[in-house]
Chain A
Amino acid sequence: MSSAAKHILGRVIESGPLGIRVQAPGWAGHRPGQFAMLTLNPDPHYPDPLLPRPMAVYRGKGEELEFRFKIVGRGTARLAELVPGSSIGVLGPLGNGFPDPSGSTILVGGGTGIASLYEYAKAHPDDVRVILGGRSHADILGLDDFQTLGVPLAIATDDGSLGERGLVTDLLKPDSNDSVFVCGPWPMMRAAYQIASDAGSRCLVSLEAHMACGIGICLGCVVATDQGFRYVCTHGPVFDAERVDWEHAL
C-alpha cells in the first residue's frame, strides 16, 4: 500500500461523458500509472452505486485531478452526470505505478488504457515513443494532449478513421534495448507482450480487475501469476508481463 493514500471527500469541478475533474483536498501526489477509487455517492445512507470505481489518474495538478473514462455501465454513466460542486469520495493514490525509465520506452495504449499512460509521457518526453489504438478516432482519448507533448506518436484504429487501419500491435516493433509499457484490453496486452518478448525487450503491463476496496482488504482483485495470485490493487496494477499467467483472463 502506498502509505500516502488517503480517503478524501472531494468536489466535482466538471464532468461529462469523457471524463471528470475533481478537487481533492489533501491529495498526496502520485506517480504516473497510479489510480484512485472514486465513490460516487459518499453519503452512507444511500450508497448507490455501492462500490467505488477504480480509475487511473489521467493528469493531476496539485489537488486537482483529472480522470478520463468511457461510459460502460451504471457507475461511469453516473460519474458523467455529476454536476459541479457535488461531493465525490476519492481514495488514493493507489497501486505501484510505472517505474522511471531505464532507457528508451515504448508506451502502448488501447482504449481507456491510454488514460494510465499520459502522465508518463509528460514526465519523460525524451525517453518515450507512444503508440495508441482504439476502435475508431473517438476512442483515442487524450489525443490533443499527446500531440501537444510533441512525443513520437503512432496511431492505429480498427476502422482506419485515424492513423493506420489495424491494431496497435501492428505498429509495435521494439528492439531489445526498449522497454515496452502497455495498458489496454487483455488480448492487446497479451499480444504486445508476445512481440516484446520475441524482441527480447522488457514488458510491463497495467492490469484491470474488479475491485471492491483498492487497498488489499477484500482480496477480490486477483490476477494469476507465476507467484500465485497477486492483488492488482496493491501488488499492481503494473506487473512484469512475464510473470502474468496469460491463459487466465481476469
Chain B
Amino acid sequence: MSAAVDFSTDLCGVALRNPILLASGTCGYGTELEGFINLNELGGIVCKSLTLEPRSGNPPPRITEVPAGMINAISLENVGVEAFIKEKLPVLPKGLPVFASAFETEIDRYAEVCARLDGAPGVAAIELNASCPHVKSGGIEFGQDPQVLAALVRACRAATDAKLLVKLSPNVTSIAEMARVCEGEGADGLSLINAVQAMAVNVETRRPALPNVLGGLSGPAIRPIALRMVYQVRQAVDLPICGIGGIATGEDTVAFMLCGASAVQVGTMTYTNPEAGLVIRDQLAAYCARHGVAAVRELIGALEK
C-alpha cells in the first residue's frame, strides 16, 4: 500500500481511517472475523441488526445462489440489543468505529432499540435498517412507504442523540423521495442499498428455492442498481451517503465514491473471503497510486460527465 495516499474519510461526523466498512448481516458482531483479519485496519463495521429481544429467524434453507449473487431469507435472527451491549461491544477492539444496526416490527420498538443503544460505550453511530416488514401496514417494508418511513425516522430521531444513518430499501419506485423524507426528519446520513427483493424457483421440484418464497438479492448482481440509486440520492439530498451493493473490488469502491458516497460497505463478498474488505482497501490504494489521488476524499462526487 502506498504510504502517500490519505485514506481518511468521514461519515456523518464519524472519522474513518479508510472508507471500507463491513455491512450489517455479513460480519456477524465482528468477533467472528477476528483471527481472519485485523478489524482495526477497516474503516468500521456495521453489526448484525438488533431487535429488543433475541430473535430466531426462518427455517432452512435460508439461502440460495443465483448468477453473481445470492438470495437470503434469514429474517430477524439476532442476539438482542442487551446481549449486544453486554457481551459483544466490550470485546471489540478499541478505536474501531462500530455502527449498531436497529430493526423491529413496530415503530415504538425501533425507537426503544435506538434508546438502548444511545450512549452505549463503543457505538459510533446507529444505522436504522428500514427493510423490515411492518406488521401494521400488512407486511410491506418500513422503507417502502414514505409516510411510514417518516414516522420511523422521527421516532428514532427523538429517541437518540447518537448519529443516525438510515439504511434505505431499494424496493421502492423513487429512492430520491425516500432520501428526502429521511433528510426532512433529521437523519444524519444514508446507507444504501439493502438487498433487492427477489425470488428463485427450483423447476425440478416446481417449488420456490426458499420456503419463505421471497428473499433479498445481494452480491455483484445488484451493483449497477445500487450505483444508480447512490447517484440519484446524491442529486436529491445533501446528507452523507454510505454506498452498499455488490462491492467486490477497489474499483467498485471508486465508482460508488465518484457517484457521491463518502464511504462504502462490503457485504456478500466477505462470505467468499473473510479478508475481502482489506483486499478491497489495498486495491483502492493501488487505484489511487495509479491515478495520482493524494486523498481518497477527493473521489467523493467527482464523477465527470
Residues on A close to B: CB < 8 A? 1, 3, 5-7, 39, 42, 44-45, 47-52, 89, 91, 209-213, 215-224, 228-229, 248, 250
Contacts and interface: CB of A to CB of B under 8 A. Distances in A.
A44 B269 contact: yes
A221 B70 CA distance: 14
A50 B270 contact: no
A50 B63 contact: no
A250 B70 CA distance: 18
Interface in B24-83: 25-28, 32-33, 35-36, 48, 56-57, 59-65, 67-70, 72, 74, 77
Nearest to A212: B271
Nearest to B37: A7
Contact of A50 (B57, B272, B275): B272
A80 B108 CA distance: 53
Contact of A52 (B220, B249, B271): B271
Contact of B69 (A5, A50, A222): A50
Given A47-B68, A50-B268, 11 more contacts: A6-B36, A44-B248, A44-B276, A44-B279, A50-B69, A50-B272, A91-B274, A217-B271, A220-B74, A221-B60, A223-B60
B2 interface: no
Contact of A219 (B77, B249, B274): B77
A89 B57 CA distance: 30
Interface residues on B, range: 35 or more
Contact of B74 (A211, A215, A219, A250): A219
B273 A42 contact: yes
B219 interface: yes
Nearest to A53: B65
9 contacts: A44-B276, A45-B249, A50-B272, A209-B60, A210-B62, A218-B271, A219-B25, A219-B77, A228-B56
Contact of B36 (A45, A215, A220, A228): A215
Contacts, number: 116
B278 to A, nearest CB: 11
B120 to A, nearest CB: 22
Listed from nearest, the 9 A-B pairs whose CB atoms lie closest are A220-B63, A217-B28, A213-B271, A212-B271, A44-B248, A220-B62, A216-B32, A210-B61, A219-B74
Indicate the member of A219, A224, A248 with the most B CB atoms within 10 Å. A219
Contact of B273 (A7, A221, A224, A248): A7
Contacts of B219: 47, 50
Contacts of B57: 219, 222, 229
A215 B64 CA distance: 17
A55 to B, nearest CB: 15
A89 to B, nearest CB: 6
B26 A218 contact: yes
